[in-house]
Amino acid sequence: MGKLAGWAAIGVAVFALGPSWMRGGMSLIGLLVALAALFLSLLSVRSSGYRYFYPTAAIVVFGVLLVNDALRVWDPLPAFASSRPSWYAAIAVLVGACFFFARMLASRGR
């Protein structure tokens, strides 16, 4: 189960890069799909360790900072300029919580 969930999380995270390139609401849908992939990768931590969680987290962070059309650091959409810091804060909290739960699950699994 852990291996399947891990590969599925990586596949979903890579799939989420596609909508992230598009303008408007599709980039935010890509963000939500990428965060769902990060949560999905938590299912693999207990049985497989961090083997699938770290690559999924790296793809998600890469997608948010460099690919996502609304939130990327380089040349983002101007429409989200006022709310961009709050989006970054919310994403940082979610990713940080995932790392916390991954550490907790890994310590229980061994």
| pTM (two decimals) | 0.86
Residue ranges per domain, the chain?
2-109
Looking at residue 49, what is its pLDDT?
86
Looking at residue 19, what is its pLDDT?
87
DSSP state of 69: T
CA distance 39 to 30: 14
CB contact at 8 A, 57 and 38 = yes
pLDDT digits (tens, 9 = 90+) for 31-89: 899 999 999 999 999 888 899 999 999 999 998 888 887 777 777 777 666 777 888 89
Of residues 109 and 30, the one with the higher pLDDT is 30
Q: How confident is the model at residue 10 (pLDDT cuts 50, 70, 90)?
A: very high
Looking at residue 16, what is its pLDDT?
92
